[in-house]
Structure 1
Amino acid sequence: MARIDEIAREDALGAEGQSVVTLDQQSVGRLSRMDALQNQAMAKAQQARRDLERRRLTHALAAMEDGEYGYCEDCGEDIPLPRLRLDPAATRCVSCASG
C-alpha cells in the first residue's frame, strides 16, 4: 500500500512533464523543442512504468484478500519468500519465470 501511495505522488510530479509541447519558435528554438519533446516522451514512459507497477501491486493485494498470494500462477507451488521480498508482485516462481 505504501508503494501505491508513493506511485500516486510520483504521478503528480510527472504530470507536468507529460503536457503538450507548444510550438513557439519565437521563444524556443528547434533544438530546445526537440529536447522538450524527448523529455515529454521520457515522462510518458515513466508514467507507463508506474501504471504497470500499480496494476501489479493492486493484483497482489487482491490475491492476498483471496488467499491466493504467494502461489505460482503456473505450477501452484509456493513462491519463495526471498523472491516475494524482492518483488512483492511476483506471480510466478523462479522455475516457471525462467521458462
Structure 2
Amino acid sequence: MKPAQIERYEKELIQLEAELMGFLGLSSESSQAVELDQARMGRVSRGDAMQQQAMVSAAHQRDQKHLIAVRKALKRIKNDDYGFCLECGEEINLKRLDVSPETELCLDCQSLQEQRQKTRS
C-alpha cells in the first residue's frame, strides 16, 4: 500500500475516533436509570423509557467496540502492519478498507470466522 493511501486511511480513522468519542460522551447521559415514580410517569411511558434506555445502552456498547477497533487500526498504522489480514497475513482489499478502514481481516478470513461463530451457536 502506498504511503498516501495509508495517510488517507489514518485521517479517516482519526476522524472516526473523534466522532465515536463524541457519541459515547453524549449517550452516557441517555443511559441513566429510569425513574420509578409512577405518579410522574405512567406505565406505558415508563416502559417506553426503559426500552429507549436499553436501545441507548446497546448503541453505547456497539460504539465502544467500534472505538476499540479504530484505535487498534491506528496502532497498526504506527507499527507498519496496517492493511494486512491478522489471520492469514495477506493484504486486505482496498475496497474493503474504503468501506471499513478499521477492519482486521480480509473478506475470506472474515467469512470463515463468521461460519465458525454460527456453528458454535
TM-score using structure 1 length: 0.95
Give SS of 1:51's match.
helix
- Higher relative contact order structure (alpha carbons within 8 Å, sequence separation ≥ 6): 2
Show structure 1 runs of 4+ deviating over 2 A: none
Mark the runs of 5 or more structure 1 residues left unpaired by the alignment: none
Which AA in structure 2 matches 1:8? M
CA deviations over 1:13-60 (Å, ceiling 9, x no partner): 212210111111111011111111001000000100110110000000
Does residue 1:33 correspond to 2:46, yes or no?
A: yes
Give 1 or 2: higher helix fraction.
2
Does residue 1:70 correspond to 2:79, yes or no?
A: no
**1:80 alignment partner, one of 88, 93, 118:** 93
Equivalences for residues 44-55 of structure 1 within 5 A: 44-55=57-68
**Is the contact between residue 24 and residue 64 of structure 2 (CA under 8 Å) also seen in structure 1?**
no
- How far does residue 96 in structure 1 lie from its aligned partner after superposition? 1.3
Q: Aligned-pair RMSD on alpha carbons?
A: 0.9
Q: Which residue of 2 aligns with 1:42?
A: 55
- Identity over aligned residues, as a percent? 35
Does residue 1:17 correspond to 2:30, yes or no?
A: yes
Query: Aligned pair count?
Result: 99
TM-score using structure 2 length: 0.78
Mark the runs of 5 or more structure 2 residues left unpaired by the alignment: 1-13, 113-121
